[in-house]
Amino acid sequence: MPDLYDRRDKKTKLPLPIPEDRVGFGTRFEEALEPQLAAKYQGYRPGEFAVQHAADCVHSRTKVRVGDLVCPCGAGIIYSPDYLFMVPKRDTILGEFKLTWYSSREFPDHRKFQKWLTQIKFYLHNLKLTTTWVFPFWVNGGTDHRYQEVQPEFKRAYELQFSAGECEQTHQRLIKHAVKHKLMEPYFKEAA
């Protein structure tokens, strides 16, 4: 769903700037939520991970492992999960925090949430997990843009499960997109 990330001005077709204020609100939401979760669950914010762009890259003799830097050639995808929960008697669970101006109606089935699900399935595939808890703070609640009735919602986490096959398919689609658009080319070529 790369088109969902490509926000453009309707008249000029030029890319719109990243809404820095909203990004800041999201960061503050995560910072406020993490201590609350840490008090209740075992878990942590894992930091950045990398995926190998190609199993047979001439610049790397071994596969990139979880926690390694990107391939020495500079290609690959860096990703940063919000949280990993260590739940007794269960597998590790991916935690994703979302502060959004979307309406909560039709989550997670509406097309507008596909970018969230794509991100989640990519993370799950690379972490070898199948379950996520999504913690959304709905700024506009469930009002579908009737702003006079806005009541923010932060009621619960949603537990979503995906098969390993679904996650693999999403991973492959993203890698194919990145290769097609030359987003994963090495920063340097092998000397001729």
> Tokens 């919602």 label which residue?
153
* Of 103, 89, 78, nearest in space to 153 by CA: 103
pLDDT tens, position by position, 153-190: 887 889 999 999 999 999 888 878 877 877 766 544 44
Q: Tell me, what's the pLDDT at 170? A: 92
In which residue ranges of the chain is pLDDT below 70? 1-6, 52-76, 143-150, 184-192
- Strand pairing of 77-79 and 49-51? antiparallel
**Long-range Cβ contacts of 64-70 (<8 Å, 24+ apart):** 66/126, 66/127
Distance of CA 54 to the CA centre of its chain: 21
User: Which pair of structure tokens corresponds to residue 79?
Assistant: 């990703």
Q: Tell me, what's the pLDDT at 109? A: 92
* Of 123, 130, 128, nearest in space to 163 by CA: 130
* Of 60, 25, 41, nearest in space to 133 by CA: 41
Q: Tell me, what's the pLDDT at 108? A: 92
Provide the whole-model pTM.
0.77
Class of residue 31 by CB neighbours under 10 A (exposed 0-12, middle 13-18, buried 19+): exposed
Got the DSSP string for 149-173? G---B---PEEEE--HHHHHHHHHH
For residue 100, list its beta bridge partners: 138
Query: Residue 52 and residue 1: Cα distance in Å, rounded?
Result: 21
Give 81's contacts (C-beta < 8 A, 6+ positions apart): 45, 46, 49, 94, 95, 96, 123, 127
CATH 3.90.330.10 for domain 18-46+81-180: no
Q: Tell me, what's the pLDDT at 156? A: 81
Q: Tell me, what's the pLDDT at 4? A: 47
